[in-house]
Amino acid sequence: DTAGERDVLGMWVGTGGEGAKEWINHLSDLKPRGVEDICLIACDGLKGLPEALNTLWPAADVQLCVVHLVRASLRYASKKYWGQIAKSLKGIYTAPTLDAAQALFGEFAHEWEERYPAMIRMWRTNWENFTPFLEFPPDIRKLVYTTNQIESLNARFRQATRRRGHFPTQQAALKVLYLVIKNPLKNRTNITGKTVGWKQALNTLSLHYGDRINAQ
């Protein structure tokens, strides 16, 4: 929220399918609960998710997680090239400006497209949802371009469910996940709570999004 507090707004049991319609069915629950506007959404690019987010919140910037894009890139490439590819991609996502990132991607595509055309096609397809964070200063970009906090929460979820093995009902499983959220681990960063460096981030986001952010 505008105070920098992280929170979990909902948990839903999926039907096993993916696609924009499935995501809309889940996410539409948030609107009547008060989520009227979203400025920026970081997600991992699951099928149909960006489209669903833009349907429900048309003004939202959808930022694909850079870490997931890099991992996806390496899946297309031989392991012997991973270090070289990862280094080039780091140059792109740490570029000082969008123009610089585009220039570096052009060089990257020229070097690798003949060998790994599917990898380059993936980047071109996702480019629009990769670039929103490049409009922000480098010192707050990491708040924007990764889903690390979500990944940390998912790891806690997996640990809790594996420990119990089997659940008699979906509701029983959801109760366990709810308790994971509400009970932080000792000597571990709380998965909810204050965002580090939030004051600086709030100032930057307020300048970027204007009246859409009201910190009062």
What CA–CA distance (Å, rounded) separates 45 from 28? 18
> What is the structure's pLDDT at 51?
87
What CA–CA distance (Å, rounded) separates 121 from 116? 9
User: What residues have CB less than 8 Å from 35, skipping those under 6 apart?
Assistant: 9
Token digits for 179?
């308790």
> What is the structure's pLDDT at 74?
97
Which segments of the chain have a pLDDT < 70? 16-18, 147, 184-193, 215-216
> What is the structure's pLDDT at 194?
74
Tell me, yes or no, if the pTM score tops 0.85.
no
Using alpha carbons only, what angle is made at residue 87 by residues 191 and 131, rounded to the nearest 5 degrees?
60
> What is the structure's pLDDT at 190?
59
Residue pointed to by tokens 């839903």:
12
**DSSP, residue by residue, the chain:** -TT-EE---------S--SHHHHHHHHTTTGGGT----SEEEE---TTHHHHHHHH-TTPEEEE-HHHHHHHHHHTS-GGGHHHHHHHHHHHHT-SSHHHHHHHHHHHHHHHTTT-HHHHHHHHHHHHHHSGGGGS-HHHHHHHH--HHHHHHHHHHHHHHHHH---SSHHHHHHHHHHHHHSPPTTS--SSEEPTTHHHHHHHHHHHHGGG----
The string of pLDDT tens digits covering residues 156-198 is 888 888 888 788 888 998 898 889 888 866 545 556 667 778 8
> What is the structure's pLDDT at 185?
60
The string of pLDDT tens digits covering residues 133-153 is 898 888 788 777 776 777 788
> What is the structure's pLDDT at 189?
57
